[in-house]
Amino acid sequence: MSEKKPASVTEKIWNMLSSVTLAVVLIAILAVTSIVGTVIEQSPDYDKNIKVISTFVGSGAAPAVYKALNSLGFMDMYRSWWFLCLLMLFSINLIVCSIERLPRIWKIVHDPMIPLKDNVLRNLGIRHEITVSSKADDARGVVEGVLKAGGMSPQTASSQEDGSVQVFGQKGGWARFGVYVVHGSILIIFIGAIVGAIWGFKGGLNLPEGADSDVAYQYGSGTEIPLGFTVRCNWYETEFYGSSDMPKLFKSELTVLENGREVMKKWIRVNDPLNYKGVTFYQSSYGPIPTPQNGLFVFKAKTQSGEQMVWAKMNQPFKIPGTDMEATVVNFSPALTTDRNTGQLYTYTSSMNNPAVEVRFTRGGQEVLRTGWIWKRWPDTGKLQGGAALEFEHYWGAQYTGLQVRKDPGVWLVYLGCILMSIALYVAFFISHRKVWVKISDDGRKTRILIGASAHKNRHAFEKDVQKMVSGITAGLEGGV
Amino acid sequence: MDSSALFNVSTFAYIIAMIAYIAYLAFKQKGIGLAATGITAAGFLAQTAAIVTRWSESYSQWMKFSPESSMLLGISRSAPLRNLYESLVFFIWSMILIHLVIEYVYKNRSLGAFVTPIAGLALAFIEMAGIGKEIQPLVPALQSNWLIAHVLISFFGYGAFAISYATANMHIILASGDRKSQSYIFWAFTFSLFIWVLIVATAGTISGPPPEGMDGRSAGRGMSFWLPLAGIYPVLFFIVWRFGLSMHNLLASFALSADILDEITYKGIAIGFPLLTLGIITGAIWADSAWGTYWSWDPKETWSLITWFAYALYLHSRLMRGWRGVKTAILSLIGFISVVFTYLGVNLLLSGLHSYGGG
């Protein structure tokens, strides 16, 4: 009710900030601008976005439109000043809305229930009336029992006017706060995001096998971020499904070192990162090193006496354990296959999809036995005479692992907000504030029981519960006779 | 029977059920209605069996490639929720399940004539677009325990939204007996748009990925792709607008109260909205554990947020402003357009613009 006195400017602003209309308008604007951000590629790529814009306005006007959109921050709009302002306004709206409405809800939930006048009782959404032959006092006991069984703590009040008694109770009042907890959880998520943006970082780090680093590199700017410890990549490997080129697993073995001492070691893979002192390392990419300086070929030598790992350099002969032969790696291909038409061997990609080494076998350092390719994918290609085998396992030092490095001290707030929101949404949608009043009056011969009930939502579900209460009361009174 | 035979049985059953439900709407014979429900239930059972069979087929595949996995890990990694085809199947499955429950609770069969066509459209889309049905092993990014939770929750949410779309549409049709009324034009616009998106998605899938530019990146689709499709839309709209009114007369002859439709629309959203929220949250947690960012504003994430906003608008206008009837029904339609775009549009159309997606 606005009074005669005109609202001051602050009042007007306050009212605007607390209005649902503003919320609705803000949500609509956020939705529409977000759509724009999904059509125009974020983080600018001029050529590509010019093409997108041309589709809408034609190629003639596209550069001008691009310029205009770019100056408004549309090429990185989710971080632009106006989008952040919209989010801030949205948060203020949420806060003011809650400040404005919470006291009223608090009052509704905490005000003691009072007996209702007949006309109010008869106007409630859910009504029932029954007449029983039991005494009013017995009826009162049964009604109290039924309400208690329904999870309410019944109160009783007697009327001076007509000697009637009202029993009433409520439950689920706290559920009215559910929607405010949802709003609050949005704010908690925002705070978590802000904490992460201020005190955290997001960067990348490409580590060749065997290399280590005590910094990561900020995305975008490339600034060095000191980690406070050293991380080393011991091994990187892609596993494939069967003998296909479909990747099954990307994995790296990382070691964390502090003051030269190893403090942690873990195989990471996509969906399973390493976390040390709040910094998390994610498997995000990989790639070949074109001319590895310290590359080592890893073989597994199999003979009757057992298996043994052998590490060898390019063009340097090594003895195959358990045999009288030597081997020399003379060539390497990251992905070797045979051309179907010509039968020629060729490398089909620089990525280590199907690595193979060409090995020269000798005896006594002089006598060349043969030269042949050994594939990692097909261990049979490493079979030697006399049941021995030289299986090619890995070309160590020829790949790097691409790590995403992140520190986000706000992430637990985001998760807390998410958990709160999930619970509160359930409460807000499926638990309702339910009230029941039962008026018991004695007209001399019979006892009239008038039942009225209300629920602030999901009335149909509550109607069924009240119906059960009514049957409970009837059964409790008539059933006992 | 193998899974594809069972899928064929369920597809066939849903299409027959769609015809039966529409016939029921037209002739109001109790027998036809019962038959429609029976056929839908049979289709649902066949589809359930098909999903279970496909799961066990892909379980054997997984165990062949990763014999070291435990049985539990194998089951979790082979859940048939990996690609567009499997997700469409699961979407239909959850929508039909919710539909059968609602039909049982509300004892009203007219809803079926609006739900089964959605299933029919989705099935037609699978066939026309030639979406790949092979069982493929899981790429590394999808090897997460969050996959099942995320997809189950999201698609149950989509199923609930689909139901509320159907009832909101019925509500508007029932309320607008005039071709010139705004609400009538709006539902005709939405419905034809919905069919149009499926046609575009189909065309997009048939013509393969968009051409690549010099740098090896996608160059987007040209006018030759968009022009004919843009031309189809007005025709579609006209057809729906012209013949939609007969629906009004059919529905009006039913003892169907606008209140019940409004209530089911709300219930659908009341179930769908928390599920959508949980879907977004599980997606965020998953992204965080896989890539170290719980939110990166990629098109899929952003569109799910836009959908969230759309339904938040519906809820606020209904619960705070007290809107009822056609107004909120229109908001519900907007919400479902957003759902369809989040689900199909982003993968099939925006994939030309972004690295993410691609089915």
Residue A268 has pLDDT above 80, yes or no: yes
For chain B, say whether A35 makes contact (Cβ under 8 Å): yes
Residues B36 and B73 in one domain: yes
CB pair distance less than 8 Å for A28 and B285: no
Residue B206 has pLDDT above 80, yes or no: no
Mean pLDDT score of chain A, rounded to an integer?
Answer: 89
For chain B, say whether A307 makes contact (Cβ under 8 Å): no
pLDDT value for A1? 46
Nearest CB to A241; choose among B137, B223, B288: B137
Nearest CB to A37; choose among B143, B297, B312: B297
CB pair distance less than 8 Å for A425 and B273: yes
Residue B196 included in any domain: yes
pLDDT value for B253? 76
> Which of B102, B320, B349 to mutate to test binding with chain A, by most A CBs within 10 Å of its CB?
B320
Residue B354 has pLDDT above 70, yes or no: no
CB pair distance less than 8 Å for B274 and A425: yes
What's the average model confidence in pLDDT over B307-326? Answer: 87
Residue A148 has pLDDT above 60, yes or no: yes
User: Which positions ≥6 away from B60 have C-beta within 8 Å?
Assistant: none
What's the average model confidence in pLDDT over A234-260? Answer: 92
Residue A59 has pLDDT above 80, yes or no: no
Tokens 């520190």 belong to which residue?
A407
More confident residue, B33 or B141: B33
CB pair distance less than 8 Å for B302 and A271: no
Q: Minimal Cα distance from B314: which residue of A?
A: A24
pLDDT value for A43? 65
pLDDT value for B220? 53
Is residue B352 very low, low, confident or very high in pLDDT (cuts 50, 70, 90)?
very low
DSSP code of B345? I
CATH T-level topology, domain A112-172+432-478 = Double Stranded RNA Binding Domain (3.30.160)
Residue pLDDT, tens place only, A394-435: 999 999 999 999 999 999 999 999 999 999 999 999 999 999
Residues B311 and B263 in one domain: yes
Residues B327 and B207 in one domain: yes
Total domains, chain B: 2
Q: Residue A388 to residues A115, A328, A361, A379: CA-CA distances in angstroms?
A: 95, 17, 13, 12
Residue A393 has pLDDT above 90, yes or no: yes
Domain containing B341: what range?
171-359
B291 to chain A nearest CA, in Å?
6
pLDDT value for B215? 42
> Which of A33, A225, A271, A430 to mutate to test binding with chain B, by most B CBs within 10 Å of its CB?
A271
pLDDT value for B209? 55
pLDDT value for A167? 93
Residue A155 has pLDDT above 50, yes or no: yes
pLDDT value for B355? 37
CB pair distance less than 8 Å for B312 and A52: no
For chain A, say whether B354 makes contact (Cβ under 8 Å): yes
Residues B54 and B194 in one domain: no
Residue B353 has pLDDT above 60, yes or no: no
pLDDT value for B219? 46
Pick from A93-102, A159-168, B109-118, B200-209: least confident:
B200-209
Residue B221 has pLDDT above 70, yes or no: no
Strand partners, A238: A250
Residue B149 has pLDDT above 90, yes or no: yes
A81 to chain B nearest CA, in Å?
16
pLDDT value for A339? 87
Residue B57 included in any domain: yes
- Is residue A329 within 8 Å of A377, Cβ to Cβ? no
Residue pLDDT, tens place only, B49-60: 999 999 999 999
Residue A265 has pLDDT above 50, yes or no: yes
pLDDT value for A84? 92
Residue B259 included in any domain: yes
Residue pLDDT, tens place only, A282-338: 999 999 998 888 899 999 998 888 889 999 999 999 998 888 889 999 999 999 998
pLDDT value for B358? 35
For chain A, say whether B211 makes contact (Cβ under 8 Å): no
Dihedral, B233, B237, B239, B241 alpha carbons, nearest 10? 180
Residues B182 and B131 in one domain: no
For chain B, say whether A34 makes contact (Cβ under 8 Å): yes
pLDDT value for A404? 93
Residue B280 has pLDDT above 90, yes or no: yes
Residue B275 has pLDDT above 80, yes or no: yes
pLDDT value for A161? 78
* Window A:36-95, CB contacts with B under 8 Å: 37-39, 41-42, 47-48, 51-52, 55, 78
Residue A64 has pLDDT above 90, yes or no: no
ipTM: 0.86
What's the average model confidence in pLDDT over B114-138? Answer: 81
Pick from A307-311, B141-145, B217-221: least confident:
B217-221
CB pair distance less than 8 Å for A272 and B278: no
For chain B, say whether A404 makes contact (Cβ under 8 Å): yes
pLDDT value for B350? 67
For chain A, say whether B285 makes contact (Cβ under 8 Å): yes
Q: Minimal Cα distance from B290: which residue of A?
A: A271
DSSP 3-state percent helix, strand, coil across chain B (nearest 5): 75, 0, 20
Residues B320 and B225 in one domain: yes
Contacts of B263 in chain A (CB under 8 A): 460
pLDDT value for A132? 87
CB pair distance less than 8 Å for B353 and A39: yes
B132 to chain A nearest CA, in Å?
16
Contacts of A241 in chain B (CB under 8 A): 65, 137
Q: Minimal Cα distance from B312: which residue of A?
A: A27
Three-state SS string across chain A, please? CCCCCCCCHHHHHHHHHCCHHHHHHHHHHHHHHHHHHHHCCCCCCHHHHHHHHHHHHCCCCHHHHHHHHHHCCHHHHHHCHHHHHHHHHHHHHHHHHHHHHHHHHHHHHHCCCCCCCHHHHCCCCEEEEEEECCCHHHHHHHHHHHHHHCCCCCEEEECCCCCCEEEEEEECHHHHHHHHHHHHHHHHHHHHHHHHHHHCEEEEEEEECCCEEEEEEECCCCCEEEEEEEEEEEEEEEEECCCCCCEEEEEEEEEEEECCEEEEEEEEECCECEEECCEEEEEEEEEECCCCCCCEEEEEEEECCEEEEEEECECCCEECCCCCEEEEEEEEECEEEECCCCCCEEECCCCCCECEEEEEEEECCCEEEEEEEEECCCHHHHECHHHCEEEEEEEECCEEEEEEEEECCCHHHHHHHHHHHHHHHHHHHHCCCEEEEEEEEECCCCEEEEEEEEECCCHHHHHHHHHHHHHHHHHHHHCCC
Residue pLDDT, tens place only, B14-62: 989 999 998 888 888 889 999 999 999 999 999 999 999 999 999 998 8
Residues B195 and B49 in one domain: no
CB pair distance less than 8 Å for B290 and A271: yes
CB pair distance less than 8 Å for B289 and A272: yes
Contacts of A78 in chain B (CB under 8 A): 297
Residue B183 included in any domain: yes
Residue pLDDT, tens place only, B178-197: 888 888 888 888 888 878 87
A467 to chain B nearest CA, in Å?
17
Residues B241 and B96 in one domain: no
For chain A, say whether B358 makes contact (Cβ under 8 Å): no
Residue A44 has pLDDT above 80, yes or no: no
pLDDT value for B211? 52
CB pair distance less than 8 Å for A38 and B303: yes
Is residue B205 very low, low, confident or very high in pLDDT (cuts 50, 70, 90)?
low
Q: Minimal Cα distance from B223: which residue of A?
A: A55
Residue B345 included in any domain: yes
